[in-house]
């Protein structure tokens, strides 16, 4: 599952760290599309290429290597990549040595077709094979031909990736699980990311310790189906996500833990209990439901009913009464009637989400639903989406307004746009702006919330910050 993680500022999808001043450094530009798993992968690609002399830059003009780390989840993904490649082909004519690589899910889905359609492409690398980039660059230099890697050697990827060697953000992504075996009928992920695979707990804990030593204080565990995590340790023992979270919570300088994205079917008893027992596990859960209609849920192959979902929400609230939820919804799935859509609205009214993502259904090539005959008219999809979004926005506003006057712990992440301002997150993932010095970045402070603008809260430090 690829639910998005709201960015602290407007989506900054271009991955960049300060470029090295050293003129011998090769300039690497990575453009990241889509979900937080891609953001994680982009960072790892930069780490992987650093020993080859590549340093990230902010502009593609003049770059020695450009990587488009693509997303295939929604409509026209491939077309957008091809038009970006058209622009890169022009730049490449000015700088013929420039390497152009396409990574991510569109690369996986398109494979050879990419190099056939756009001669400027030097490398095509799927999400499970990008650890082979250094070798691909060497092969390309040797043969000057196109290089393609789109296997699923998931077991080897994480072992082959180097540990991050640069400073980490206060909140750091850590991929623990990849792939999906659920096969929702609308979704390309099982085909582009491959089968479910979990990393060993030892390698995850080592990566978390490394991130913390580089400044991370919040760890966001990532996986397409993160709560399906089943890692095997070096003694052959199985770990579920709850056990992994518990072990991460023992790392002293990890202040906060989150995980995303989850499937309702995989919320096991241990994980629900963890929300009540592990203080460092934040009271916020992104739990996509997609629809509130049982017949649509069945047609989507979600493997649960609306009532199952509502009962799950109830159990999580019993374990952690202040937990907030977000979700993903699809409006206008084939066969969705007015009554089905009403059932979705009823589910939303009953849960009260604090934020949400909603999309019009778009057929994805190769997925079972793409062949469906009973399509919903575009105008109906649009009006349903608008109605759904209006309701979701109302609920988000309500949740944010309820924060005014409250004092909450904020983990400060970075300087804000205004002078002397810091921006951080509440336990419920709301961005919070405060006037405070940069020395507080990476610490938790109690903030009294005074106002709300757009989607962010504004407040003042209530007491001395504590970690």
Interacting residues with ligand 5AD (CB under 6 A): 1-3, 73-74, 186-187, 288, 290, 328, 330, 359, 361-362, 364
**Buried residues in 25-49 as b, exposed as e (16+ CB within 10 A):** bbbbbbbbbbbbbbbbbbbbbbbbb
By beta-carbon proximity to ligand SF4, the closer residue of 180 and 423 is: 180
- CA of residue 383 relative to chain centroid, distance: 28
By beta-carbon proximity to ligand SF4, the closer residue of 59 and 183 is: 183
By beta-carbon proximity to ligand 5AD, the closer residue of 324 and 388 is: 388
Q: Which of 27, 92, 131, 182 binds ligand SF4 (CB under 6 A)?
A: 182
Q: Does 330 contact ligand SF4 by CB under 6 A?
A: no
Residue of 146, 97, 98, 152 lying closest to 130 (CA atoms)? 152
Degrees, nearest 5: CA angle 111-156-197: 80
Count Cα neighbours of 262 within 13 Å in the Cβ-side half-sphere: 24
Q: Which of 37, 187, 324, 392 binds ligand SF4 (CB under 6 A)?
A: 187
Cα–Cα distance for residue pair 200/206, rounded to 1 Å: 10
By beta-carbon proximity to ligand SF4, the closer residue of 1 and 176 is: 1
By beta-carbon proximity to ligand 5AD, the closer residue of 194 and 288 is: 288
Residue of 29, 47, 35 lying closest to 7 (CA atoms)? 35
Q: Does 77 contact ligand SF4 by CB under 6 A?
A: no
Q: Does 184 contact ligand SF4 by CB under 6 A?
A: yes
CB of 329 to ligand 5AD, least distance (A): 6
Residue 17 interacts with which of ligand SF4, ligand 5AD, none, CB < 5 to 8 Å by class: none
By beta-carbon proximity to ligand SF4, the closer residue of 240 and 403 is: 240
Q: Which of 11, 155, 162, 183 binds ligand SF4 (CB under 6 A)?
A: 183
CB of 463 to ligand SF4, least distance (A): 42
Q: Which of 63, 88, 189, 447 binds ligand SF4 (CB under 6 A)?
A: 189
Helix axes 338-351 and 378-401, enclosed angle (nearest 10): 10
DSSP-derived letter for residue 170 is S
Residue number closest to ligand 5AD, CB atom: 328
**Buried residues in 267-297 as b, exposed as e (16+ CB within 10 A):** beeebbebbeebebbbbbbbbbbbbbbbebb
C-alpha torsion 184→190→192→198, nearest 10: 140
Which residues of the shown chain bind ligand SF4 in the complex (CB under 6 A)?
Answer: 1, 180, 182-184, 187, 189-190, 224-225, 263
């Amino acid at each position: 599952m690829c639910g998005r993680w709201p960015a602290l500022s407007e989506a900054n999808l271009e991955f960049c760290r300060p470029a090295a001043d050293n003129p011998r450094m090769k300039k690497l530009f990575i453009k990241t599309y889509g979900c937080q798993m891609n953001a994680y992968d982009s960072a790892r690609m930069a780490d992987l290429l650093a020993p080859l002399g590549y340093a990230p830059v902010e502009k593609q003009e003049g770059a020695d290597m450009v990587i488009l780390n693509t997303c295939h989840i929604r409509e026209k993904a491939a077309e957008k990549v091809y038009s970006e490649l058209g622009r890169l082909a022009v730049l490449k004519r000015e700088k013929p040595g420039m390497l152009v690589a396409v990574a991510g899910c569109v690369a996986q889905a398109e494979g050879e077709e990419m190099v056939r359609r756009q001669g400027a492409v030097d490398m095509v690398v799927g999400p499970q094979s990008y650890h082979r980039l250094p070798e691909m660059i060497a092969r390309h230099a040797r043969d000057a031909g196109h290089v393609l890697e789109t296997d699923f050697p998931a077991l080897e990827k994480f072992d082959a990736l180097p540990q991050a060697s640069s400073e980490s953000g206060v909140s750091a992504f850590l991929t623990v699980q990849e792939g999906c075996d659920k096969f929702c009928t609308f979704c390309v992920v099982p085909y582009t990311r491959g089968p479910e695979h979990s990393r060993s707990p030892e390698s995850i804990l080592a990566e978390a310790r490394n991130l913390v030593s580089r400044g991370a204080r919040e760890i966001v565990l990532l996986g397409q189906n993160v709560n399906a995590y089943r890692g095997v340790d070096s003694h052959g023992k199985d770990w579920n996500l709850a056990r992994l979270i518990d072990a991460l919570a023992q790392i002293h300088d990890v202040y906060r833990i989150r995980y995303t994205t989850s499937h309702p079917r995989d919320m096991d008893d241990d994980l629900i209990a963890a929300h009540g027992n592990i203080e460092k596990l934040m009271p916020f859960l992104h739990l996509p439901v997609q629809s509130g209609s049982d017949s649509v849920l069945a047609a989507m192959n979600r493997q649960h009913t609306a009532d199952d979902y509502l009962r799950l929400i109830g159990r999580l609230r019993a374990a952690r009464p202040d937990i907030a939820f977000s979700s993903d919804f699809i409006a206008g799935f084939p066969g969705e009637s007015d009554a089905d859509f009403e059932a979705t609205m009823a589910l939303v009214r009953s849960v009260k989400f604090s934020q949400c993502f909603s999309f019009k259904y778009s057929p994805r090539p190769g997925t079972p639903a793409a062949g469906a005959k009973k399509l919903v008219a575009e105008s109906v999809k649009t009006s349903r989406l608008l109605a759904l979004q209006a309701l979701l926005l109302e609920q988000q506003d309500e949740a944010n307004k309820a924060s005014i006057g409250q004092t909450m712990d904020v983990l400060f992440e970075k300087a804000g746009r205004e002078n002397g301002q810091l921006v951080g997150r509440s336990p419920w993932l709301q961005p919070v702006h405060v006037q405070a010095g940069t020395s507080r970045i990476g610490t938790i402070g109690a903030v009294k919330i005074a106002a709300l603008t757009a989607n962010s809260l504004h407040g003042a430090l209530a007491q001395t910050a504590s970690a």
